[in-house]
Amino acid sequence: MKVPTQPELTHLQLQAMLRDHAIPKEQLKYIGEREYTTDFCAHPEYHGQVMPWYLINNEHEVPVCDIGSIDAVDSD
C-alpha cells in the first residue's frame, strides 16, 4: 500500500470536511488541480508537480502543500 504524502493527506482531509460539513463555498472551495510553478518559492521540492488548489475566503488561491494543518475550531 502506498502511503500518502503530506499534501495528499491534507487534500483527503479537506475533501472529507467539504463532504461531511456544510462549509460555505465562500470560506473553502476546491478549485481543481494546477501545476506548482517556479513562481512559488516556499516548496521548491514541488516545482513542476500538479496538485490540488483551494480558494480560501473567496480571496486566496492556495496549493494544498501550503496548507500547514487542519484544526477544528469551537464555535462557542
Give residue 41's pLDDT. Answer: 87
Would the pTM of this model clear 0.85, i.e. be above it?
yes
Give residue 76's pLDDT. Answer: 62
| DSSP three-state, residue 53 | strand
Measured between alpha carbons, how far apart are the two ends of the chain, in Å? 40
Q: Residue 38 falls within a domain, yes or no?
A: yes
pLDDT in tens, the chain (76 residues): 889 899 999 999 999 999 999 999 999 999 999 999 999 888 999 999 999 999 999 999 999 999 988 887 766 6
d(CA 59, CA 76): 26
Contacts of the segment 31-34: beta carbons below 8 A, 24+ positions apart? 31/55, 31/61, 34/63
Burial (CB count <10 Å: 0-12, 13-18, 19+), residue 49: middle
How many structural domains compose the chain?
1
Q: Residue 74 falls within a domain, yes or no?
A: no
Provide the residue range defining the domain that includes 17.
Answer: 6-66
Q: Residue 17 falls within a domain, yes or no?
A: yes
